[in-house]
Structure 1
């Protein structure tokens, strides 16, 4: 369509602007931010992670440095000023440790165990799952029977048995969680890889006689990442909860390396006497951490799997 000037000369209409194309990362961020709860979970988890990372610099006290503890300040109520003029905003435990500082340090161990075990279990399970799907035959049968065997045991029971044999320790807890978690990743990746290996790009790579390792890790793995990311997010929250349970039962981390579960366990016997804060505040910190991760995981599932969108 065109218009004319006062002299009658035609003027061509301005071309329509080209549609703006968003990159995959920008599109992912915009879709993730559509959920206010997921965005809130991301903000809360980021704050928690920063607190855990910088705990030695921002915590009012090192709760496991004996030189900074005063046994006379044991079991003080929240907001009480100690003998040295130090204010315990969340109270103290039976050893005179500042609960606020204890939670900050406890978050470090809980996140280290949760994220560390999830990363290692993801690497192991994803590798075995892709190998099972790509190789097929006896290899697939053996790996999936191991997966079925692993998933037939309750996770908490299997972890308790492993730690009863290995003993306490952060690395032992991580190893126990890896052993009870890898099967979830293997089954998820195998299901996705079975679909992807029938696609044309895999057949083309095989026709070019590319090495099996390259086909798996350069072509197959990237297309299995969306469901893997969702499972990993959920498993981090699950690993943190499992570690807290193990520490509460006395088979997790030692008392020299506190976690939120151990802090909850330390105050459990004082709940009936009214000293609620020793277990209550670490429990709230654990609950907020797990809920924030789950909120992110729910939205990641919807974003990375369009079929689940309403």
Structure 2
């Protein structure tokens, strides 16, 4: 008895799934660099009111006479504009910090809601089968047959500008991708013993789907959600650049880029250039994290 107890005591710790994911994620330097950048970007967005030199949309802090100043210039009152100003005299560094808040909020909110709707419909389609599955998947095929940007433009042309309207448009554009992924994963899980055991216990369909089927379908959905956040940020920037996204009172990175587009040929490149660099870094960092998550959560890599 004592020998068995000592054997258990010296047995090495069994690696938990979460610990394995963290360990394998840390093996990629590019992924870690992307994660560090992403954490930094999120921190800047969250604490923009504290970190920004000015509130770029507070009229009491803006002077039109400071418009289109190059990077490193000082205002008439002595304030330093590290990245210059736009045509309205707003500090570009502050505008980027506040713009990140809107861009990230739109991307995360639309991806989360679209994931909940799409994953639910995909799981229901895989579990129910028959006419329900056929109807849901025909709707998915119809949605995916149209270009995303075209659908979003049509929706915003009807709803009008606004952060909430942009989120609604992106949800409608994105949900079908989650539905198809969830259905494909659930069809594999549907035939496994634990689902048959749950059905033998006469559990309700809702409990089987959301308590037993959904947890085992999460890994690919998490990867898709990460990629879709970056895609939503890019789509929102495109819509705002085209004038159908967020209003000027709620600036995003896309709107900041659009504000300086007309001044590019006159040498005032910084008005669009720096918001464009911030947008690029945000999208690349999210994609780097998503790519590594795809490799870590791929069950074939650990079979």
Q: Which residue of 2 aligns with 1:207?
A: 200
| Cα distance between partner residues in 2 of 1:88 and 1:140 | 57
TM-score after normalising by structure 2: 0.96
| Cα distance between partner residues in 1 of 2:301 and 2:10 | 33
TM-score after normalising by structure 1: 0.94
Matched, 1:230 2:216: no
Cα distance, 1:78–1:157 mapped onto 2, change above 3 Å: same
C-alpha deviation, 1:21, in angstroms? 1.6
Number of residue pairs aligned between Structure 1 and Structure 2? 297
Matched, 1:155 2:148: yes
C-alpha deviation, 1:27, in angstroms? 1.3
| Cα distance between partner residues in 1 of 2:18 and 2:198 | 27
Matched, 1:66 2:66: no
C-alpha deviation, 1:18, in angstroms? 2.0
Q: Which residue of 1 aligns with 2:35?
A: 42
Q: Which residue of 2 aligns with 1:138?
A: 131
List aligned pairs for 1:11-90, cutoff 5 A: 17-90=10-83
| Cα distance between partner residues in 2 of 1:250 and 1:219 | 45
Q: Please, what is the CA RMSD of the aligned residues?
A: 1.3
List aligned pairs for 1:1-310, cutoff 5 A: 17-308=10-301
| Cα distance between partner residues in 2 of 1:308 and 1:232 | 20
| Cα distance between partner residues in 2 of 1:120 and 1:281 | 30
Could you say which structure has the higher helix fraction?
Answer: 2
Structure 1 range deviating more: 80-89 or 14-23 = 14-23
Is the partner of 2:265 in helix, strand or coil? coil
| Cα distance between partner residues in 2 of 1:206 and 1:257 | 50
C-alpha deviation, 1:308, in angstroms? 5.0
- Structure 1 stretches of 4+ moved >6 Å: none
Bigger radius of gyration, 1 or 2?
Answer: 1
Deviations 1:62-113 (A, max 9, x none): 0000110000000000000110110000000000000000000000000000
| Cα distance between partner residues in 1 of 2:302 and 2:20 | 15
| Cα distance between partner residues in 2 of 1:182 and 1:125 | 5
Say whether the 8 Å CA contact 1:31–1:303 is kept in structure 2. yes
C-alpha deviation, 1:306, in angstroms? 3.7
Say whether the 8 Å CA contact 1:41–1:292 is kept in structure 2. yes
